[in-house]
Amino acid sequence: MNLIDGKEVAAALRKEIAAEVETMVAKGERPPYLVAVLVGDDGASQTYVGNKEKMSAEVGFRSQVLRLPAETTQEALLAEVARLNADPEVDGFIVQLPLPRHIDEQRVIEAIDPRKDVDGFHPENVGRMAMGLPAFVSATPDGILSLLRYYDIPTAGKHCVVIGRSNIVGRPIANLLSQKGWDCTVTICHSRTANLPEVVRQGDIVIAALGRAEFVTADMIKPGAVVIDVGITRVPSETTKSGWKLLGDVKFDEVAPRCSYITPVPGGVGPMTIVSLMKNTLKARHGL
């Protein structure tokens, strides 16, 4: 069994990005500029945005966090989005989700200029990605592809079983792995799939992205399979200082011995997501 070390891969990619920014700046070009909009004071969102700001600095980007109060109206937020769309200095920006309940998230996402949509959430980017055209690919699916690439894991002709059909993970990763270059045969499983364990057992590559802690058990995994765990469920824990710990969608201890490769939680897919946002911001600086 080989452990896929997301922290190591993220650090390697971060170094590559930092070197590229350094070269740009040495040539007198301005560094990429990323803005994150945070509405309200959701604890997890503050942490995520803080980490994005920190990594931006590490790779030499200019960055800013726009903190808006929880009572910000939809109109005011849309006005902010329009201002960022029009600002020639801003290469890319994200609006951190979830937004307060009185704001229509889809409306906000669709107001972002697709050329600055470094989250890859705008329907134009989702559509372009699905067609195999140059696009901003969202962070989690892009991070999974980077892990497979880094470890040189063969994908052509392999049967990839994706568990979960969300717009941000399951469907895009299924689409991407079916495309030329990756060449997987892909099956998507979901809550209505009949005989799910039997289907998952056919997977040479299993991507668990359903959001149910320790759902995937050893009996569902073909010996030698590659297992990518996207789950991050917070559960109470007496052994951690914070009082909680993260569980993946895979019962790691029993599944790991059966795998050729497996991602841990934490330390697998998670660390990749912010570096994918940095990749997209660098791409936005030059244009898609």
Q: Is 283 a catalytic residue?
A: no
Catalytic residue from among 5, 117, 119, 204 = 119
Interface residue with ligand GUN, options 13, 94, 163, 284 (CB under 6 A) = 94
Interface residues for ligand GUN in 249-288 (CB under 6 A)?
none
Look up 96 and say whether it is catalytic.
Answer: yes
Q: How far is the CB of 122 from ligand GUN (least distance, A)?
A: 11
Burial class (CB in 10 A: 0-12, 13-18, 19+), 165: middle
Look up residue 181 and give its two tokens. Answer: 């270059």
Between 106 and 195, name the residue whose CB sits nearer to ligand GUN.
106
Strand-pair partners of 226: 205, 261
Within 117-156, the residues that bind ligand GUN by CB under 6 A are: 119, 139
Among 10, 95, 196, 225, indicate the residue that binds ligand GUN (CB under 6 A).
95
**Binding residue for ligand GUN (CB under 6 A) from 56, 63, 72, 96?**
96
For residue 219, indicate whether it is catalytic.
no
CA distance 49 to 151: 29
Smallest gap, in angstroms, from Cβ of residue 68 to ligand GUN?
14
Tell me the per-residue interface mask from 4 to 43 with ligand GUN, x by CB under 6 A, - otherwise.
----------------------------------------
Q: Which residues are catalytic?
A: 52, 96, 119
Binding site for ligand GUN (CB under 6 A): 48, 94-97, 119, 139
